[in-house]
Structure 1
Amino acid sequence: MTLPTRDTRVTYPDGALATTAVVLHVAPAGGDRLAIVTDVTSFHPVDAAWPDQPADAGVMRANGSELPIRDAVVAATDGVELHLGGDIPVRKGTEGWAFLVAHLVDADASVAEGDEVEIEADASVRDALSIGHTACHVASLALNRALAGSWSKPARTDALGDPDFDGIAIATSRIEPNGSVDTYRLNKSLRRSGFDTTAVAADALEDLTGTVEAVLAEWAASGAAVQIDRDGDGLTDRRHWVCELPGGTARIPCGGTHAHSLADLGRVQVRFATGDDAGTPVLVMRTTADPQR
């Protein structure tokens, strides 16, 4: 089968749940799965390079059958071979490569190149993950603001001009339904950069929680609008999360899905804990939104 030469067109950044598409490529995906690549999709995939947001849940309708989409991953091809997820050998956007969304379905699915299919993501799953991702962004900005006085040296700044603790110390981020879990490494490099780690010591976390939640309450009460700005409709075209927060506009590179307004989040709470990762102290922030529906 001919492999695609252009990136998959994606409609999920605009909030689309469903689309009609043409199958461009079908390939074994290992085990009992097939990878279905289409020209366009409304289905958000997981990206192996930064797998913070899980894939959408949903279905593909083809030839009179409704096929559960078991997973969706970013794939890539140089025109010779299709590479899935963590097997992609190059960075996204590498010249001469097409970057694609591969929908993983059961191996006995009756789908062929050239078929017209309908792809539909589950609205409730998308909504919960979108709220979780937006909550993650505002919580990281609120954390940066709360820790702004803990730097003794100039540090790179975030989208609101505060020292970017989140961007500098982040180790992992995981988006969950209506929330997120972020882990920060409190290593020697961070301390050499001028950050006072006593600000995130166990006995300081109660005060930190109160400060962060106060900022989040102000921002959520503003009902600030959220939008996704993008340079194009291809999978690798640059996209930004943009939020009109009180006192300034935040603009953060992001390929995920999001709520339309901070009013959708309801009350946002954070919980902090300290821990250890192979000998390195870490701070864990769990963010939870309580959407008003």
Structure 2
Amino acid sequence: MTFPATDTVVTYPDGDLASTGTVLHVEPLEEGRSAVVLDRTAFHPVDPVWPDQPADAGTLAVDGRDYAIVDAVVGATDGSALYVGNAPVRTGTEGWAFVVCHLVDDASGIEPGATATVTVDGELRRALSAGHTACHLASLALNDAFAPLWTKDVPVDGRGRPNFDQLAITSSRILPEGSLDEYRIGKSLRKKGFAAAELAGRIEEATEAIDATLAGWVAAAAPIAIVRDGDGHGLGERRRWRAELPEGVVEIPCGGTHLRSLAELASVTVALELSEADGALGLTMRTTAQPA
């Protein structure tokens, strides 16, 4: 059995909803499922390291037969085995090939060397892309609203604001036309200079400030792009989300899918909710993106 020697060429960062490639490997999995690896694909997979954006939905067609893709995950191989969603190394590690594993319930009829066509559900892709774009915008606006609560210098975001989002986030989930982000404000963040005691009294003010900032950005219909760090199109290549906001261009490392312009949105709004557990504050930010 041979394993892919190079990364899957991925075209979803360019917004592609269909692709044609060659089957490189079929890996039997538990419960009768199989992972199908192609040399190129438009299908966005889940990255187990940071599983914020769900996989695309769609089909794989081989020799006139359609196979429902029930899931897709990032896989990795060092040439001796294929790790499907449980790689022992991080994406981009030298000496490893990182691949998109298209999971199907029944891979009978799919053989290495066959030509396969991938078709992505465009409606779901658009909704998740809207949610992911809104998530990045909301994180920047959140950092801006919380900037006055910092008393010490900490790492900043692409707009030069103290990066609360990066320092406090514990989980992020991209939803169709929205996102759900969870933050923890504990002893470590307080030591870094975050005035947690003032937060409860500023939640309403912060929410209004975030919504106002987001409204201004949406009204400006800022262009959005995915920029690759290298010249290739491999899955393991680092990519960045870029937005040409009115105050200047801002970038965030990101492997997901996005809209191409904020003109595709009518509005982006947030709801902030505080909680307390184990001696720390928890903050939940629910972001909603209304399509234009």
Normalising TM by the smaller chain, what interval?
over 0.9
Q: State the distance in 2 between where 1:271 and 1:109 align.
A: 47
1:280 Cα deviation from its structure 2 partner: 3.1
User: What are the Cα deviations for residues 101-150 of structure 1, in whole angstroms up to 9, with x where unaligned?
Assistant: 00000135421111101001110000000000000000000000011111
In structure 2, what is the equivalent of residue 143 of structure 1? Answer: 142
Q: Alignment RMSD, CA only? A: 1.1
User: Secondary structure of 1:216's partner?
Assistant: helix
Taking structure 1 as the reference length, the TM-score comes to: 0.96
Residue from 212, 215, 218 that aligns with 1:217: 215
**Residues 277 and 101 (structure 1), Cα distance of their counterparts in 2 relative to 1, 3 Å cut:** farther
User: What are the Cα deviations for residues 2-52 of structure 1, in whole angstroms up to 9, with x where unaligned?
Assistant: 100100000000001101110000011221311000000000000000000
In structure 1, what is the equivalent of residue 27 of structure 2? Answer: 27
> Is contact 2:26–2:36 with CA below 8 Å preserved after alignment?
yes
In structure 1, what is the equivalent of residue 125 of structure 2? Answer: 126
Q: State the distance in 1 between where 2:277 and 2:135 align.
A: 22
In structure 2, what is the equivalent of residue 4 of structure 1? Answer: 4
> Is contact 2:21–2:41 with CA below 8 Å preserved after alignment?
yes
**Structure 2, unpaired ranges of 5+:** none
Q: State the distance in 2 between where 1:42 and 1:109 align.
A: 22
1:266 Cα deviation from its structure 2 partner: 1.4
In structure 2, what is the equivalent of residue 193 of structure 1? Answer: 192
Map residues 76-225 of structure 1 onto 2, 5 A cutoff: 76-85=76-85, 87-201=86-200, 203-225=201-223
1:277 Cα deviation from its structure 2 partner: 5.1
Taking structure 2 as the reference length, the TM-score comes to: 0.97
Percent sequence identity is 52
1:278 Cα deviation from its structure 2 partner: 5.0
User: Secondary structure of 2:51's partner?
Assistant: coil
Q: State the distance in 1 between where 2:198 and 2:22 align.
A: 54
**Structure 1, unpaired ranges of 5+:** none
Q: State the distance in 1 between where 2:262 and 2:167 align.
A: 25
Letter in 2 for 1:2: T
Q: State the distance in 2 between where 1:6 and 1:91 align.
A: 15
1:208 Cα deviation from its structure 2 partner: 1.3
**Residues 145 and 95 (structure 1), Cα distance of their counterparts in 2 relative to 1, 3 Å cut:** same
User: Secondary structure of 1:233's partner?
Assistant: coil
User: Secondary structure of 1:286's partner?
Assistant: strand
> Is contact 1:28–1:107 with CA below 8 Å preserved after alignment?
no
**Residues 274 and 75 (structure 1), Cα distance of their counterparts in 2 relative to 1, 3 Å cut:** same
> Is contact 1:23–1:117 with CA below 8 Å preserved after alignment?
yes
In structure 2, what is the equivalent of residue 16 of structure 1? Answer: 16
Q: State the distance in 2 between where 1:156 and 1:195 align.
A: 12
1:199 Cα deviation from its structure 2 partner: 4.1
